[in-house]
Amino acid sequence: MKYRVLGKTGLKVSAIGFGGIPIQRVSVQEATQIVERALDLGINFFDTARGYIDSEPKLGAVLKRRRAEAIIASKSMARTKEAMTADIKKSLAELGVDYIDLYQLHNVRYDNELDRVLAPDGALAALSEAKKEGLIGHIGITGHIKGLLVKALKTSDVLETVQFPFNAVEEAESRELLDVAQKVNAGVIAMKPLAGGALKNAGPALRFILEHPAAIAIPGMDTVEQVEANALIGDKLEPMSDAERELLNKEAVSLGTAFCRRCEYCQPCPEGVEIPMVFLLDGYFTRYNLQDWARQRYSELKVKAGSCIECGQCEEKCPYELPIRKMLAEAAARLDKQ
């Protein structure tokens, strides 16, 4: 595995890190096997969050035993000093460790949220205190709104890393943020490297990110096979071939921008609709000519897209401001049809 220095943190992290959202979908036993294999193959950066249900304890079950091999990153949606202090303690307890290498302000979306976390009694103050106490090693910020992250890095010199969706689809809109991160020497953590699973050719998609020498990629992984395939990319760090680059460009262009990245911030739906899964199956239907397979899988869902009552809660939470209600209706029209 190749390693890179994560900006001014000085942490030496694996070029391919471990995204901790999908681990929620597997059993504790499966999670243990997956995390053990990742460590065995040299993956040492593990990203999780307070909001990822049981991701922290599942990762922690292994990482606390192999603590010296792991760099742990977690994060919280807390916006006040009091709430962030409480969440840091919860993360430490769930992970079963006595310190966390990187703790991040999670999914800062609006100007008023940024102002709140940067206020004297805001979440950043709690992170700074925790760093002084040795409970966390470094401080970062995550989000999907790149202009806001640019503002955050320019406003606060306390922030040492920035984590955001970076992939072949979102290259152009990421350039300013990459430039600013380089200027302030903030470590760059690329989440959604496969655009939430929309990019199907993982090799070229990950190598595209790793062409940027300051960035690491954290694809979500929930099988040993995924770990092994992704680790191989980080081990070789081969440049893309012309054929792979052309394939990736065509795939990115075909996706456009109005598609679900499966970040799952829209969940849970009060009616029980598995919104990202509906859009994943609809993508197979519309982009990969797998209509029969997509409809079969869709028919197995307990709650169909047509159960949406258009309450709009999902759209309020979507960081990409997608018209989810309209998209669900369109998916239902395709997938419900026999």
Cα 203 to Cα 244: distance, rounded to the nearest angstrom: 9
Give the pLDDT of residue 2. 96
Collect the ranges in the chain with pLDDT lower than 50: none
User: How do strand 12-14 and strand 3-5 relate by DSSP bridges?
Assistant: antiparallel
State residue 338's pLDDT score.
Answer: 61
Domains of the chain: 3-250 (3.20.20.100), 275-335 (no CATH)
Among candidate residues 173, 41, 191, 208, the one with its CA nearest the CA of residue 104: 191
Q: In what order do the strands lie in the sheet with 215-217?
A: 18-19, 45-47, 71-76, 100-105, 136-142, 161-165, 187-191, 215-217
Share of the chain above pLDDT 90, in %: 74
100-105 vs 12-14, strand pairing mode: unpaired
Q: What pLDDT is recorded for position 288?
A: 61
The amino acid that residue 254 corresponds to is S
Q: 169 with 122: CB under 8 angstroms? A: no
